[in-house]
Amino acid sequence: MSTFVKRLGGIVTNCYLGIDAGGTSTRAALVLPDGTCLGTGRAGSGNPISAGPELAAQNVLTASQAALANAGAEPSLLADGIAAMAGSRVAREADWLNDPLHAAGLPISLTLEPDLLAAFLSATPQPDGYAVVAGTGAVAVRVRNFELERVTDGLGWLLGDAGSGFWVGHQVVRHGLAALDGRADPTALTDALLTALDLDPDAPAEVEGRPGAIQHAVDLLYTWRPVELAQLAPIAFEAAREGDATARAIVHEAALALRAALAAMLAPDISGPVVFGGSVLTQQPTVAEIVGAQLPEQEPILTTDGLVGAANLALRRGGITVTEAVFDRLTETIAARR
């Protein structure tokens, strides 16, 4: 008799698989209809865009098997499941994901769900509301009846993501180098940027008429993928806290961009709740305060990932009513297994 069945006193019951398949990692939760999390598992990237469908499917399988093993449960106990992921729109047919799962003995077919919906439903059991997620990228959504009704931004580094970690990091580079180049007033961002890049501010010129530090920064930064500029965003937040005028202006502009994204989502018949996700909002109170002022009657709910929401969706798509008590149990028992 499995550990799972022993835990339930010998009664075999249905369980559900919720998977949060992100660009960095994939996490799975095995849950009961009452919201109890029995086991969790983790693997690498589950994003079919960045990792490719084959690797993404393998990581979803690995995380799912780990969750079953963690619970001491057999695959035959699975009743249903979903995988919440970005990039699923280009792979709406899920054979690429489910065929490897079936071949490995998992008897269910996962339904693909938007990661943004999972992010919202990780913070609340309510059917309607709003979410703003600002990490490397930035996007705002409106949720109605447990479905994404409208989305704004999230257009990537070239076309959008205003107020995101990428956007802030890009501004750090632009303003820091502009000051060094004499095109802008001095700012603490310049020294902080060169320190972060491990560059000598007094490096001799290698191109006639151009400071060596600028050329070295250009040479280095053009080897980065654009989204990697997000790792420079903390420079702006720290300099803003220390009173640097340029940094404070960057942070304020980022907050206004995110607030505008939220404003674009508002509908007269949906008052909230509003969910904030991503490090720009969850770790920067100044930004969160400005964005939250768009809905002053709502206290933003912070969420750090979409695993609770994925489990929430797995139950809902499986026909289970997720009450406040079930949602609270999901939140508590998944947190206990982090």
Q: Cα(314)–Cα(14) distance, rounded to whole angstroms? A: 12
Report the pLDDT value the prediction gives residue 83, as an integer from 0 to 100: 96
Whether 135 contacts 277, CB under 8 Å: yes
Q: Cα(52)–Cα(45) distance, rounded to whole angstroms? A: 9
Domain ranges of the chain: 3-122+305-335, 127-303
CATH number of 3-122+305-335: 3.30.420.40
Q: Which tokens hold the place of 12? A: 């075999």
Residue-wise pLDDT tens for the chain (338 aa)? Answer: 345 544 555 555 689 999 999 888 999 999 999 999 999 999 998 888 778 889 999 999 999 999 999 999 999 999 999 999 985 554 567 899 999 999 999 999 999 999 999 999 999 999 999 999 999 999 999 999 999 999 999 999 999 999 999 999 999 999 999 999 999 999 999 999 999 999 999 888 877 788 899 999 999 999 999 999 999 999 999 999 999 999 999 999 999 999 999 999 999 999 989 999 999 999 999 999 999 999 999 999 999 889 999 999 999 999 999 999 999 999 999 999 87
Report the pLDDT value the prediction gives residue 52, as an integer from 0 to 100: 87
Report the pLDDT value the prediction gives residue 1, as an integer from 0 to 100: 38
Residue 217 in 3-state DSSP?
helix
Report the pLDDT value the prediction gives residue 89, as an integer from 0 to 100: 53
Q: Which tokens hold the place of 337? A: 């297994």
Report the pLDDT value the prediction gives residue 220, as an integer from 0 to 100: 97
Question: Within 13 Å, how many C-alpha atoms sit on residue 236's CB side?
Answer: 33
CATH number of 127-303: 3.30.420.40
Q: Cα(133)–Cα(88) distance, rounded to whole angstroms? A: 18
Q: Cα(32)–Cα(18) distance, rounded to whole angstroms? A: 11
Do 3-122+305-335 and 127-303 agree at the fold level? yes
Whether 240 contacts 286, CB under 8 Å: yes
Residue 234 in 3-state DSSP?
helix
